[in-house]
Structure 1
């Protein structure tokens, strides 16, 4: 096992520091005593702009970069704007990595997504299953961009000798998530709809698809903890999965979220909507071998997420 000990005054740039993953990384780093964390809002530096990304890297001069900036969204958003998901994520990744490689930034952690795996790959999903079959059509463009990011890290390691790594999280949720009515992922989407149904006295809420699709969900702060563990203990030109190791059907997830929110109406299926990938469960044996497992139960994480939604989203609408 390789152990990397970063000085607590190392300059760490978190690209996408206000997003779900980025904000969780910020909290995790602060809790570990890191004192030189840098985040640049997109209004000040649009990382889709090559020159803006270059200026950020030159100004910050980071020792470590966490590349968490990305255009993200659920099934509906991916179906509606595949060009945007492909193009914008490719731009962000290439701009930041090219600028970082040119400056010789010694450590970069690229955040991918479990959607990189083939739609019908064996479960649980092992790292070696990458590019062994067709992708899930509903988020194919986003997945291709993330695969390109993995290959970019691998190429930089080969060409420049920089010890960059890639981590692949399962579906993340938690404080700081996007609760947009049309653009959110499954957990924040359910929380918002069930909360609004409870407040407005709606007797029935339809859940997308058959309810049989299964998803592995990882609390964002657990993901941050696992990613920081990978930074310290993993060094490879491939990538490593970071997940909870457990999955749940969409139907059971909906029932659990409804209970957490306190919605006691009827849940039905909207069969006109797609299920997406039938199952996404990561094989996390490599992380376990490095000494890490997640620690937050799904119900505990959902309750913390709902509390955050009530205080930070619902209270201001």
Structure 2
């Protein structure tokens, strides 16, 4: 397989490890694009360039792809990897509905999203969508065996409108428990803070999928307390009380925290099982292999697409 990969820099989280693994499996040419280059993909996707490739993988932020539908609609073998498609269904997001409109303009493309429920909703809109969960980079995120001097911690953003539910729950918890809301730059500082946290409090309320920080915390040996997402846990393979602790309300979270404080041996067992689970299933090398598997599947030729799909792509973008 001859593969063209266009990815973004800067990118958080960085999936370079996944793309390097993918390049070992496919004959890949990878271009890391700055913001200006991302906004104009035409030099990389000109017909004279595309004849060299069987597949094209785009890992570029939606806000820079969405205005290039006319260009992308004519590309065969196109796979888009998207980590923010949950915003398609968030009332608080300025991108609500925009992902659906964009994907409908690309009848020959396949889409990978990082939420099982999001994938299901997009498939109901007759879009070709696959679910792959987010993961973590084992080169920068790992258990260092440090003293866990922060009992309850959360590391990440709460200011965005999309994270309104997260902020509300964490603020309520902090009124009753010694929760520390922390920030850290990607890299060593972030890993070291995760390694100091005993119980990582995840609050992905209303997002419908698991953010990468859940798996990063597990990989660093934290016991993850995660807000239930419904079908996501089964789709990923996460089991409550075996890999992590789930909750659906503040009262349930506090009750399960009380149990954890009284059962240190069980806590160690669950945290270790969670670490081993993500190490085995959700590290970025595995993501690279799963991307290769998706890219290796047969692609419908444009001649096999319905008349209306081709009409929509050409005239209704």
The TM-score, its normalising length taken from structure 2, stands at 0.41
Higher-Rg member (1/2):
2
